[in-house]
A = this chain, B = another copy of it.
Amino acid sequence: MIKIAILGYGNIGRAAEEAIKAAPDMQLAGIYHHNDCLDCIDADVVLVATPTREVQKFATLLAARGICTVDSFDIHGQIWSLRSSLDAVCQANHSVSILSAGWDPGTDSMVRALLKAMAPKGLTYTNFGPGRSMGHTVAAKAIKGVKNALSMTIPLGTGIHRRMVYIELEDGADFKTVEAAILADDYFAHDETHVIPVDSVDALNNVAHGVNLVRSGVSGETHNQRFEFNMTINNPALTGQVMVSCARAAVRMRDRGEFGAKTMIELRPIDLLPGSTEQNIKALV
């Protein structure tokens, strides 16, 4: 049995707990909060389900103790730098750290890599949603006069998205002023954005999300090779599950002596699954 702990107990931590309980080869070794004593953790692998900006600190501390980690760090432009930093710690302490284990970055990244191997030339478009964007929601909430907000991402195709921003105003705030501030914010200024006042943002709450990932490309000299990956999912449930599947891969890699920090495109799909190599090849290949 893999001894697995959770650090951070928000939406993702709770979903990961359910995925651990459903896994045939895992044993929950504790749920920790970010201000708990990390030296007390006794586990093969820890799911770092903290806010993204705290991932590096906690993953580094744990990797330095020889404990494997999995996170769902989601700032695309900083993944390489985080990987470089964690890789050195993992190599020195014989641990494995899997970064950006969610659905984008994460499983979508694996699909993008696979489609590029199938048709090396061409364009891939990743169309998100409809679903709530965490980053845009936080940005809208930070605007003066906004009491609560929800920013929905609506796919318009070819990687272009509309932002539907539902806001509850603070008492006395002027809608037109708040709307102008949101539209001028760098998070929204580059996309078609609609700001809509509502009585209750909570009444709109829904963790559904999805993706439509399309590639038209060239295999060898043959054009018009067409691929499409779609999903409609409960967002935290999928992210928690992907982290748990990656935890299994991390422990297997550690046991084979393959230490270091890896993104999901560097993992073997079979390592994500319980069961033997023979069972999985016979069932899936």
Contacts and interface: CB of A to CB of B under 8 A. Distances in A.
Contacts of A282: 79-80
Interface in A258-284: 263-270, 272-274, 277-278, 280-282, 284
B23 A120 contact: yes
B18 A222 contact: yes
Nearest to A207: B222
A241 B269 contact: no
Interface stretch (A60-68, A110-118, A150-158): A110-118
A100 B284 CA distance: 12
Given A117-B269, A281-B265, A234 B225 contact: yes
Given A118-B238, A220-B241, A238-B118, A272 B113 contact: yes
Contacts of A8: none
Contact of A277 (B76, B266, B285): B266
Interface string A51-87: 0000000000000000000000000100110010000
A33 interface: no
The 3 closest A-B pairs by CB, nearest first: A18-B220, A222-B237, A117-B272
A154 B116 CA distance: 27
A266 B281 CA distance: 9
Contact of A231 (B17, B79, B228, B273): B228
A39 B105 CA distance: 46
A194 interface: no
B242 A118 contact: yes
25 contacts: A18-B220, A19-B220, A79-B281, A80-B278, A80-B281, A100-B285, A103-B118, A111-B114, A113-B280, A113-B284, A118-B238, A118-B241, A118-B245, A119-B238, A219-B233, A219-B234, A222-B234, A222-B237, A225-B237, A228-B229, A229-B229, A230-B230, A263-B281, A265-B280, A266-B277
